[in-house]
Amino acid sequence: MASVLVMKTFLRTTNYIQEPFNSDIHSNPLAFLRELNGLTIFDVKGIDETRTRVITTLIHGNEPSGFIALHQWLIAKVKPAVNIRFIVCNPEAAKLCPEFSHRYLYEAQDLNRYFDLSKDPKSCISLRAKQIIQAVREVNPEAIIDLHNTSGSSPAFGVSVSDNDKVLDLISLFTNKVILTGLHVGAIMEQDFSAPIVTIECGGATEQLSHQVAIAGVGKYTSNDCIFDHHADKVDIHRFPCRVELKPEIILGFGDYALLTADITVRTDIERLNQQLTPAGELIGWYNKGDNLPLIAKDEQGNDQLLQLLTLKNGCIYTKQSLQLFMATTKLDIANNDCLFYATIES
């Protein structure tokens, strides 16, 4: 598998890079990536040096939009409104060949599931999460943006555990679509930094528009003296997502019909449903090995809401009511090790 361990440990040091460094930034983002060794922090002084904002990127090595935005911003030699700290979290995974194709360094060990420091606290991946948390806290930021790409083709959206106006203002710098969630998976946005923190899913990792979303949003986040300017009323909020996962030992396939080699088959164009509201009665896939779907759809309280979302009829899986799907993917490793998709009930 692409995510097989190819490096024995994360580097244990944190690399702080401060100005002046613009002349040393390679003009090509891939060449720039190859120069980074381990957790790397870029500190840039702003016009107002009493305040700091943080941007994290490459928590997942196959999600390059935030890194591309960082690279573009650095070579533009911008003087930000306030101090900016960029944290490049996992360049080791991103550097595995071919670059930007590996989500994590160790198979099935997702860094953005280890910010709950009680999970395997002595492991290298937990150490990296702890280093990132420390790098955020030591500058006492007024805001934190965590930049990602979606697992499949998708429009941009923001994710937060809070719906206060500052959080919504941050998201509005990048997109007007918001998911408010109480699901806890060990992500960095679940941490309490005594400052608003949001995750921005910029869209699909291979889409030029996603990079443009990141570049434009980083530009506004770094150049605006005030980023809390009451744009919260302009966002479209989706609440109470459920996380749809496979049950253990279930073999998944993607196809245009029920595959003989899979226990459950999901339609090959499932990512298209990220783009739109999905009505009740929409075909999702096929399952003909029993009366109960081998899926779990956990809500924020940990309850299984699968019967509220999907229904099985004559071996076909349909939406039971109007849903908004997020993060639907046809990448087998992510679907198997993480989830098939998130869904909010919209009816």
d(CA 171, CA 54): 14
d(CA 178, CA 324): 12
15-239 is classed CATH 3.40.630.10: yes
Please write down the long-range contacts of 248-252, taking CB distance under 8 Å and 24 or more positions apart: 250/294, 252/332, 252/335, 252/336, 252/340
CA-closest candidate to residue 54, choices 125, 112, 137, 129: 137
Query: What's the whole-model pTM score?
Result: 0.90
- The pLDDT, as a whole number, for residue 122 is 81
- The pLDDT, as a whole number, for residue 22 is 55
Per-residue b/e over 54-80, b at no fewer than 16 CB within 10 Å? bbbbbbbbbbbbbbbbbbbbbbeebeb
Q: How far is CA 339 from CA 109, 212, 219, in A?
A: 14, 27, 32
Interhelix angle for 65-75 vs 208-223, to 10°?
Answer: 50
Percent of residues in the chain assigned helix, strand, coil, to nearest 5: 25, 25, 50
Amino acid letter at 231?
A: H
Low-confidence ranges of the chain (pLDDT < 70): 1-11, 21-23, 107-108, 231-232
- The pLDDT, as a whole number, for residue 227 is 96
- The pLDDT, as a whole number, for residue 276 is 92
**CATH 3.40.630.10 placement within the chain:** 15-239
- The pLDDT, as a whole number, for residue 10 is 64
Q: Is 189:199 a contact under the CB 8 Å cutoff? A: yes
